[in-house]
Structure 1
Amino acid sequence: MRLTVLGGCGAWPEPGSACSGFLVEHDGFRLVLDLGYATMPRLPGPVDAVFISHGHPDHCADLNPLLRARSMSEDQPPPLPVYALPGALDAVLALDRPGMLDDAYVLHDVVAGQPFTIGPFAATTRLLPHWRPNAGIRLAAGGRVLAYTGDCGPSPEVVALARDADLLVAEATHLTAVPPDVLGMLSSVPDAGRQAREAGARHLLLTHLWPGTDHAAAVAQAAAEFPGPIEVAVPGLVITPG
């Protein structure tokens, strides 16, 4: 299993960067987790499936250009399997005229907590606290486990999702304390570190940092809670879990 970061900015992309998006590969199968702003041009080639954690545009906006490219392509690739919670993608799929993208994708509704497969990956999801329904996902393949939270506040469900994972990709929007007006809906860097430790995860990748966050400071804050390897999601970073 191999993960390549397409982007890791929260809310909007910094210059030269992109919002949430991760390419996960195993046995030649290429799965994308989230397609936020500016991620689609960073895809290094065709993909086999897409999973979207929730319907906020910094996680799903670039599904539209990806499907447009498939719909308007002369070689007419097969419909792309897209996995998401019911209704999560209604807005982004309605951006074009009715029917324009219908042949470009097949939508699979994800039932939180119900196991399913995506190519070679055994997948399970958990609903994690956020303003919109958000599905964190756990992927297992080749004896390795990757967990990705999407956006969420701290929760025992995050710890359960990441239990003994080789890699936890964890939302860490705020460097220190989460402001009162978003408390419970977003996480801090210390939250991410603490939950990674409680879960027994082996490697922590901080993502969804607020634009302008000092990455070295973020790693230091997380290291006060988590004893294992810590990195910040930046475009082009490649991690082989385990």
Structure 2
Amino acid sequence: MRLTVLGGCGVWPEAGQACSGFLVEHDGFRLVLDLGYATLPRLLGHITADQVDAVFISHGHPDHCADLNPLLRARTLRDDPPPSLPVYALPGALDAVLALDRPGMLEAAYVPHEFTAGDPLDIGPFRAQTRLLPHYLPNAGIRLAAGGRVLAYTGDTGPSPDVVELARDADLLVAEATYVTRVPEDSQGHQSSARQAGRQAAGAGAGRLLLTHLRPGTDHAAARAAAVDGYGGEVEVATAGLVIDLH
């Protein structure tokens, strides 16, 4: 299983980077987890639009799904459109991004697969488990298993025992870490810090931790140090172009 970071910025993309987006590949199948602002150009640097086999969107905030619109445009507004793209999302999560174009314009470009958080999913070679995690909007974390390896991705979430269960014994946990150590009072319960992500990775027994969704301007070294404070495994920060192979 291979993960390529398309972007790891929270809220908006800083210069030269992109918001949340990850390309996960196994046995030739290409799954994209989230497509936030500026992720499509990054994706197209690795594969063509018609080579995407499926998309999973954790929730409906635009820094996680805005670039689904241009991906669908790139697939359908051409002389030889590929088959409709399976897109997995919670009910209503894609309403805003799909409303950016006139009704029906993108209808042939995708096949919606709505699910309830907690449902298991089969996405190509991946056996997926989903879990509702606390955020301002309904947010589904996902656990992907294939080839004897496990990757867990939180989307956006406040600290929760459900994050630990989602990531239990995973080879890699990709965890939201919007803040370094202190989460503002009005965001507590809805977003996490790098320190909290480290502690939850330790509680889950995850093999590696990838911090994502850092606010632009965040000191990556400080975020990594905060995570390492409670976690003894390898910690990295999601930046566009980073590739992690899970062997």
Residues matched between the structures, number:
242
The residue matched to 2:34 in structure 1 has which SS? Answer: strand
- The match for 1:71 is 76
Cα-to-partner distance string for 1:116-138 (whole Å, 9 max, x where unaligned) = 10000000100000000000000
Query: Which deviations, in whole Å up to 9, do the C-alpha atoms of 1:164-190 show, x marking residues without a partner?
Result: 000000000001110001110000010
Q: Provide runs of 4+ in structure 1 moved above 2 Å.
A: none
Match of 1:98 in 2: 103
* Counterpart for residue 166 of structure 1: 171
Residue identity over aligned pairs, in percent, reads 76
Match of 2:24 in 1: 24
Q: Distance in 2 between matches of 1:114 and 1:103?
A: 26
Partner amino acid for 1:42? R
Q: Secondary structure at the match of 1:33?
A: strand
Post-superposition offset of 1:241: 2.2
Q: Distance in 1 between matches of 2:192 and 2:10?
A: 11
Unaligned stretches of 5+ residues in structure 1: none
* Correspondence for 2:237: 232
Match of 2:113 among 108, 116, 132: 108
Q: Which residue of 1 aligns with 2:67?
A: 62
Separation in 2 of the partners of 1:165 and 1:224? 20
Question: Are residues 1:194 and 2:194 paired?
Answer: no
Work out the CA distance in 1 between the residues paired with 2:225 and 2:196.
13
Residues 94-133 of structure 1: per-residue CA shift (max 9 Å, x gap): 1100100000000000221121100000001000000000
User: 2:156 corresponds to which residue?
Assistant: 151
Report the equivalent of 1:14: 14
Q: What does the per-residue CA deviation read over 1:63-85, in whole Å, with 9 as the maximum and x for residues that have no partner?
A: 00000111102211100000000
Secondary structure, in 3 states, of the residue corresponding to 2:97? helix
Given residue 13 of structure 2, which amino acid in structure 1 is its aligned partner? P
**1:83 matched to which residue of 2?**
88
Separation of aligned partners in 1, 2:89 and 2:29: 19
TM-score norm. by structure 2 comes to: 0.97
Distance in 1, Cα, partners of 2:19 & 2:231: 25
CA shift digits 1:191-232 (9 cap, x unpaired):
000000000000000000011011111111111011000000
Secondary structure of the residue aligned to 1:190 is helix
Aligned-CA RMSD value: 0.6
Q: Is 1:223 matched up with 2:221?
A: no
Residue 183 in structure 1 maps to residue 174 in structure 2: no
The secondary structure found in structure 1 opposite 2:86 is strand
- Partner of 2:150, secondary structure, is strand
In structure 2, distance between residues paired with 1:237 and 1:82: 24
Matching residue's letter, 1:104 = A
Q: Give the residue type in structure 2 aligned to 1:7.
A: G
Counterpart CA distance in 2 for 1:67 and 1:23 is 16
Q: Which amino acid aligns with 2:84?
A: P
Report the residue type matching 1:83 in the other structure: Y
Task: Note the residue ranges of structure 2 that are not aligned, 5 or more in a row.
Answer: none
